[in-house]
Amino acid sequence: MIEQRIEAICHKTIDNCSDEELYSALLVLVKEESGQHVTPVTGRKLYYISAEFLIGKLLSNNLINLGLYDEVRDCLKSHGKSLAQLEEMEPEPSLGNGGLGRLASCFLDSLATLNLPGDGIGLRYHCGLFHQSFADGVQNESPDLWLTKDCWADRTEKTYTVRLADREYSAHLYTISVIGYEGRVNRLNLFDIDTVDEALIREGISFDKTAIDKNLTLFLYPDDSDDDGRLLRIYQQYLMVSAGAQLILEECAGRGCDFHNLADYAAIQINDTHPSMVIPELIRLLTQKGIGFEEAVDIVTQVCAYTNHTILAEALETWPLAFLEKVVPQLVPVIRQLDEMAKSRSEDASTAIIDDDGHVHMAHMDIHFTHSTNGVAALHTEILKDSELHNFYELYPEKFNNKTNGITFRRWLMACNPRLCALIEKLIGPGFKKDASQLRRLAGFKNDTWVLEQLIQIKTANKQDLARWLYSSQGISVNTNAMFSIQSKRLHEYKRQQLNLLYLIHQYFEIKAGHLPAAPMVAVFGAKAAPAYTIAKDIIHALLTLSRVFAADAQVSRWIQIVLVENYNVSAAEKMIPACDLSEQISLASKEASGTGNMKFMLNGALTLGTMDGANVEIADLVGDENIYIFGRSSKQVIHRYAARDYAAADWYEADPNIRRAVDFITGDAMCAAGHRESLTRLRSELISKDWFQTFPDFNAYVVRKNQAIADYAADPMLWARKALINISEAGYFSSDRTIAEYNNEIWHL
């Protein structure tokens, strides 16, 4: 059947088709097939509104979820074609920075799989997150023009008028089908304007920031930005929320809603503060339809819920009222009224929406005017309640709740690790694909030597796959008999890639002194630094330079190889994670809201080396002390130290010869000969004078714990495999199906 359909779409036999033609044909086939699974909405429907959806490639995932993957793969194979190779042709839609955007995509997959009506609302950026390449030890950025002829996003006839800075724009709706695993089909709605001009892009990723009609949806902004960029972000955000709000009202009206009862028809989840303007925008639209202001506020509060993804104060969005006056003057009277209402509810200045400097605090508006505020891991929610948002918690204790993040097992196990998936299915049957809690049954095999040997073999085969890919894409050869430690996530000081760097330097000295590690190690990194984030780029440079220094030293390179994967993205993650032994989750305790990479590694049989931060805490609770490597100061100690303001990095540097030796190496002869003195010097000074994320106090504990992990790995592979099995068996809790079921039971009630 598959063969006939492909040939009908192409008007020729599979043997005569090029890879491009086959890829196009499969796209058409999936779209046709998904059309069969669209079911009408009854009752309340969810709108997950987010500036980012880091969807990744869709072909394999869609085929898996439609139950067609094996058939298509085998059919192509019988004609000497490879599905994996076709997949390489698919441009990856990188419409997100990292965890927050990827979470949104996992959630859409789970919504459709659980047969819940839930659509996404976002933006169709012409360029996703920049493409990263390395040259001369430095990160370079180039535009990621992902929109090609064959694209999952279909242009519709629908447009919505949006007023920005006293001009009207037409927001055009594009849709991508979200196909659940043996489930329903939902929609990702992405807005764009027709006048965007890709020719505006100049050198690298710079572009003319003045012409809004030409640049509005041209780029996804990296998670920092200059002031021009910030202004453009408000334009983007408003385009998304205004068109989104109109779409929601139109759909609900189409189903018989009279707007007074909007909460019976719609639930809106606000993904961090980026879409927060949806609150005043909906109030504005409802009052235009004749509903009184106070009732409109009540309706919107009932409909909307807010998720917080960060505790870094500098990441909480505030906009100068003057910016908003310029871009969205129609919202300002609404925001002022909301601010007055907030001030009448509490005299505490820290809970105001508009502060004394005329800044609008988006998160404050969210908490006052939605019915639910949630954190994304147990520890994160506790920190929000106890410190960061404590005054709000006192005002509205009933609004605060936790929803520990999750990941879709369809992409992060079934698609990326077919070997492990097949073994699990052989042992416990296929039920875990839809009911992840069944993975617990794997624990029954913890003393089964055949199973443990299989796990070891699978890991080795996955390492060989990764090694082949590293060689073909970057010309790097790695030792697949080594332990693979992987730290892959955005480059951020709080995530502490620099701590890993200091460890590697420490090991260099140990090897030179004849203190050899228990096993050889490949230390893999995947990380993009925001283009304007200087220290993050310095850390990348130091890692690339250290990698060169090690490679040139036969004595050291026998034991440690450092690999930086270029352009880390979802597809790269899918290749790296199944090959990992040791998952590096070493953020400064209290700073990583949850982390979701930690869950993906665990599910694929890696052991976590981590601090008691984010969801690591829950991983540690589930697997027990003997199946995880925890180190470092606790979040309480860290929060206390910040409050006391008594951390002086220089004192630690002076007092600890190991720290001093590692830090000084950064600007030593070997590094300066292989890299750039200016960048290396800046990094070293930053560490000694600031070390804002307290790497020094955790340094020795990290070295000890990591070397313990290597020793355990080397001493008894079967015991290590047993720990890996326990990790896999406990990973069920981190299925996004569980997370979405909780959102639905406690917040949305779809």
Q: ∠689-497-621 over CA atoms, to 5°?
A: 115
Token digits of residue 478: 């790695």
CB contact at 8 A, 566 and 474: yes
User: Of 129 and 501, which has the nearer Cβ to ligand 26Q?
Assistant: 129
Cβ neighbours, 10 Å, residue 23: 19
Farthest-apart Cα atoms in the chain, separation: 80
In angstroms, what CA-CA distances link 555 with 477, 515, 558? 17, 12, 6
Q: How far apart are CA 286 and CA 296, in angstroms?
A: 6
Token digits of residue 516: 């050899």
Token digits of residue 573: 């993650």
3-state secondary structure of 227: helix
User: Of 326 and 343, which has the nearer Cβ to ligand 26Q?
Assistant: 326
User: Of 45 and 380, which has the nearer Cβ to ligand 26Q?
Assistant: 380
The answer for residues whose C-beta is within 8 angstroms of residue 155's C-beta and 6 or more apart is: 172, 174
Q: How far apart are CA 10 and CA 16, in angstroms?
A: 10
The residue number with the shortest CB distance to ligand 26Q is 99
The minimum distance between CB 307 and ligand 26Q, in angstroms, equals 7
Q: How far apart are CA 743 and CA 225, in angstroms?
A: 32
Asked if 575 is an active-site residue, the reply is no
CB contact at 8 A, 326 and 360: no
User: Of 103 and 367, which has the nearer Cβ to ligand 26Q?
Assistant: 103
Three-class SS of 53-120: ECCCCCHHHHHHHCCCHHHHHHHHHCCCCCHHHHHHCCCCCCECCCHHHHHHHHHHHHHHHCCCCEEE
DSSP-assigned beta bridge partners for residue 526: 488, 565
The minimum distance between CB 109 and ligand 26Q, in angstroms, equals 15
User: Of 122 and 595, which has the nearer Cβ to ligand 26Q?
Assistant: 595
Characterise 160 by phi-psi region: left (phi > 0), alpha (psi -120 to 50), beta (else).
beta
The minimum distance between CB 97 and ligand 26Q, in angstroms, equals 4
Asked if 309 is an active-site residue, the reply is yes
The minimum distance between CB 590 and ligand 26Q, in angstroms, equals 11
Asked if 31 is an active-site residue, the reply is no
User: Of 244 and 614, which has the nearer Cβ to ligand 26Q?
Assistant: 614
User: Of 590 and 744, which has the nearer Cβ to ligand 26Q?
Assistant: 590
Asked if 489 is an active-site residue, the reply is yes
Token digits of residue 422: 């097949």
User: Of 175 and 310, which has the nearer Cβ to ligand 26Q?
Assistant: 310
Find the catalytic residue in 124, 459, 495, 541: 495
User: Of 223 and 295, which has the nearer Cβ to ligand 26Q?
Assistant: 223
The minimum distance between CB 462 and ligand 26Q, in angstroms, equals 24
The answer for residues whose C-beta is within 8 angstroms of residue 731's C-beta and 6 or more apart is: 436, 439, 599, 602, 603
Q: How far apart are CA 158 and CA 125, in angstroms?
A: 18
Q: Where does this chain bind ligand 26Q (CB under 6 A)? A: 97-100, 103, 221, 223, 225, 233, 309-310, 315, 317, 376, 405, 592-596, 614
The minimum distance between CB 717 and ligand 26Q, in angstroms, equals 31
The minimum distance between CB 94 and ligand 26Q, in angstroms, equals 13
Find the catalytic residue in 126, 131, 490, 528: 490
Asked if 73 is an active-site residue, the reply is no
Find the catalytic residue in 399, 600, 684, 706: 600
The minimum distance between CB 344 and ligand 26Q, in angstroms, equals 30
Find the catalytic residue in 57, 284, 489, 722: 489
The answer for residues whose C-beta is within 8 angstroms of residue 682's C-beta and 6 or more apart is: 534, 535, 538
Residue type, 385: K
User: Of 563 and 639, which has the nearer Cβ to ligand 26Q?
Assistant: 639
Find the catalytic residue in 309, 364, 706, 722: 309
Q: How far apart are CA 731 and CA 733, in angstroms?
A: 5
Among the listed residues 384, 362, 383, the one whose alpha carbon sits nearest the alpha carbon of residue 373: 384
3-state secondary structure of 9: helix
Among the listed residues 567, 573, 577, 597, the one whose alpha carbon sits nearest the alpha carbon of residue 146: 567
User: Of 90 and 493, which has the nearer Cβ to ligand 26Q?
Assistant: 493
Asked if 591 is an active-site residue, the reply is no
DSSP-assigned beta bridge partners for residue 735: 407
DSSP-assigned beta bridge partners for residue 206: none
Cβ neighbours, 10 Å, residue 626: 11
Q: How far apart are CA 611 and CA 619, in angstroms?
A: 11
Residue type, 273: T
Active site residues: 309, 489-490, 495, 596, 600
